Amino acid sequence: MSAAAAHITVLLEEAVAALEVKPDGVYVDATFGRGGHSRAILARLGPAGRLIAFDRDPRAIEAVRALQDERLQLVHEPFSALAATLDGMDVRHVDGVLMDLGVSSPQLDEPERGMSFRFDAPLDMRMDTTRGESAAQWLARASVAEISNVLRGYGEERFAHAIAKAIDAARQGGPVATTGQLAQIVAQTVRTREPGLHPATRTFQALRICVNRELEELSLILPQAVARLNTGGRLVVIAFHSLEDRIVKRFMRDHAKPPALPRGLPVREALRPQPPLTLAGDAIRPSEGEVAANPRARSAIMRVASRTGAAFDGAQSWSA
């Protein structure tokens, strides 16, 4: 089975419907993956429509060849390069931006990517295997305090310090270079864990987020996306982790509030400055049927916002 066939796109219909695709619109799929959302967007675009898709994963770049659609342009860059890339294409504004955050099923299921403790493989974890530092390289140079902070901050691991010390002790005898080594170190350190949860789950998650700068990337793209949206354009974000969703939720909420005015300044409601975003309904989660068919969808949550005509002067990056 091909990677594209093995990957099941989460909230496919809901996400594309939320974009409210116009046949002649210009859209951004910030996380191409194996092209599930992109295919659905292209199916709704007319001949004059355009789709610009980003992905860091070289395998995703290979997967786009099967589409052979001149309306699609795939960019091998992190999505934090959105503004610079659109500038290079002479694209000032777009009608929608879709983000499907986190790791894809093929990345988890390919042993050589080193993202899963289910296989003993090189401890890589990079989404883009052509650049950057692998998890093994980061662990070789990081201090105990740095490792502990990453495990606690990105994995919400309550045994973070003990695991960090165990990793430090293990690397005195040589590098921690494989997923099997790391999983064993954590399993020997963490004696208690919730039923059904592998002791190394949070450690692997935290290191992956760290190596790929996932939360930093998210904080960088959100304001860029809003700045590039046409009035009425949609920002659609699917998150799978509470830390990601917290950033998205607060960003949308804060930019859907009217700008603060000096206390006591009398302003008519009709003249009150408008916020750059409006929230488009409540957060959406996968149906019971979708979760039954694809258990990896169970933690997904989708949030949608619509661009108003108000000015937006958001910073280049934003975080919770």
Closest CA to 295 of 238, 240, 236: 240
Nearest Cα residue to 224 out of 133, 313, 151: 313
The answer on whether 168 is annotated among ligand-binding residues is: no
DSSP 24-81: T-EEEES--TTSHHHHHHHHH--TT-EEEEE-S-HHHHHHGGGT--TTEEEE-S-GGG
Non-local (6+) Cβ contacts of 201 within 8 A are 117
Which residues make Cβ contacts (< 8 Å) with residue 29, sequence separation at least 6?
Answer: 37, 38, 41, 51, 52, 53, 54, 98
* Residue 55 is labelled as binding a ligand: yes
Q: Does the annotation flag 96 for ligand binding? A: no
- 36 labelled ligand-binding: yes
Give the CB-side neighbour count of residue 316, counting CA atoms within 13 A: 5
Which residue, chain included where needed, has tokens 């996306």?
225
The annotation status of 159 as a binding-site residue, yes or no, is: no
Are 97 and 225 within 8 A, CB to CB? yes
Q: State how far the Cα of 125 lies from the Cα of 207, in Å rounded to an integer.
A: 8
What DSSP assignment string belongs to 194-216?
A: -TT--TTHHHHHHHHHHHHTHHH
Binding-site residues sit at 35-37, 55, 79, 100, 107
Binding-site residues for S-adenosyl-L-methionine sit at 35-37, 55, 79, 100, 107
